[in-house]
Amino acid sequence: MIQISELTKVYSKNGQIVKALDGIDLEIEKGDIYGIIGLSGAGKSSLIRCINRIEEPSSGRVVISGVDITALSEKELRKSRQNIGMIFQNFNLLSSKTVYDNIAFPLRLQKYSEAIIKEKVTSLLEKVELTDKANVYPSNLSGGQKQRVGIARALATEPEILLCDEATSALDPKTTKQILSLLKTLSYELGITLVVITHEMEVIKAICNKVAILEAGKIIEKGVTAELFSTVPTPQTRHFLGELEAPEFLTQKGTRLHLTFSNGSANAPIISGFIRQFPYDVNILSGNIESIQRQVVGKLLIEVLTPSEDEMGRVIAYFEDQHVVVEVL
Ligand SMILES: Nc1ncnc2c1ncn2[C@@H]1O[C@H](COP(=O)(O)OP(=O)(O)OP(=O)(O)O)[C@@H](O)[C@H]1O
Ligand SMILES: [Mg+2]
């Protein structure tokens, strides 16, 4: 539904050239909640802004539902942007307008009658649970409420795609959860495709079925979220995907193994099986189990004392037979 190919974005400012996007290829399917994560300056905002051409790509193509966005005239672009909503970190509400009028704004631009606007805004207010705030000004709303107005406004033109640029970064953890859950529900109920830009992996884990990791304008990893967390990270992706660490004060006595369990292995009594099968002591140094997009991903850092190298091969083979991903540290 969104096909991005060989997209580049180069800024030049005061004689300095910055390559913000460097050959991005990405395919986002209808109904995906696609997360794009990266450190500050990685190019996330540039990427999302090139999707609806708020920022002009320097080269490459963005095709949405078969339409080459990059080839459209200004006028055609304005029309196709109605199909792409956007929400922002700082909400971007009009402070001199009430909640109702903020949500009505894009509809008035499209010259809908006031009767239809009223119908649409009333229904949107219900969706984001702000019916009682219709006549309030943004300055009297909490951050979470402001973002719900932002969401309602973005949905007013019934877009197929919603672009979210750090939509929860200004919110506390509890409000973040509520907004993420609202986005997920809306995406499901309305069949909207979400592109979610964030620097927080928690946001990705909470709602994104797919994720791409962006670094210095390039995608260094992409895939199904739960699968990405079930594989051994590369040196580049380790920072994002995280890995267990042993407490610093523990001196290493044996061989340390980092084990990753996913759906196939998370329910099985793998450690007790190991203990029955091998005469080696095993010490658990750290562990974590979480549910990512309804898939269980468990990580365990253990130390095995002290098999020979050959025996260690058998130990690793045992875990791998049980569909555990093993990394020798
Ligand atoms: N309008 C601009 N003019 C010049 N350089 C820019 C412009 N916008 C972004 N850049 C540069 O492009 C690079 C990518 O910026 P971008 O805003 O896309 O990153 P980001 O991943 O969104 O960062 P953050 O997490 O801080 O929002 C940075 O080096 C930034 O300084
Ligand atoms: Mg940004």
For the chain, the domains span: 2-229, 243-328
Is 45 near ligand 1, meaning CB less than 6 Å away?
yes
5: CA distance to ligand 2 center in Å? 21
Q: What is the pLDDT of residue 243?
A: 79
**Ligand 1 contacts CB of residue 89 (under 6 A):** no
Q: What is the pTM of this model?
A: 0.91
Residue 13, ligand 1, Cβ within 6 A: yes
Indicate the CATH number for domain 243-328: 3.30.70.260
**How far does residue 44's CA lie from ligand 2's centre (Å)?**
5
Ligand nearest to the CA of 41: 1
Q: How far is the CA of 164 from the centre of ligand 1 (A)?
A: 16
More confident residue, 138 or 297: 138
Residue 276's contacts (CB-CB under 8 Å, 6 or more residues apart) are: none
Residues 6+ apart with CB under 8 A from 15: none
Q: Pull the structure tokens for residue 3.
A: 């096909």
Q: What is the rounded CA–CA span in Å between residue 160 and residue 69?
A: 15
Q: What angle do CA 198, 201, 206 make, to 5 degrees?
A: 95
What is the overall mean pLDDT for the chain? 93
Ligand 1 atom with the shortest distance to the CA of 21: 14
* Contact in structure between 72 and 59 (CB atoms under 8 Å): no
pLDDT band at 294 (very low <50, low <70, confident <90, very high): confident
Q: Return the minimum-mean-pLDDT range out of 43-52, 137-146, 299-308.
A: 299-308
Give percent of the chain above pLDDT 90: 78
Q: Whose CA is nearest to atom 26 of ligand 1?
A: 40
55-112 pLDDT tens trace: 999 999 999 999 999 999 999 999 898 899 999 999 999 999 999 999 999 999 999 9
| CATH fold for domain 2-229 | Rossmann fold (3.40.50)
Per-residue pLDDT tens over the stretch 134-192: 999 999 999 999 999 999 999 999 999 999 999 999 999 999 999 999 999 999 999 99
Same fold, 2-229 and 243-328: no
Least distant ligand from the CA of 55: 1
Q: Give the residues across from 28 on adjacent strands.
A: 2
Tell me, using a 6 A CB cutoff, whether residue 133 lines ligand 1. Answer: no
pLDDT tens per residue across span 216-249: 999 999 999 999 988 888 888 888 887 788 888 8
- How many A from CA of 39 to the centre of ligand 1? 11
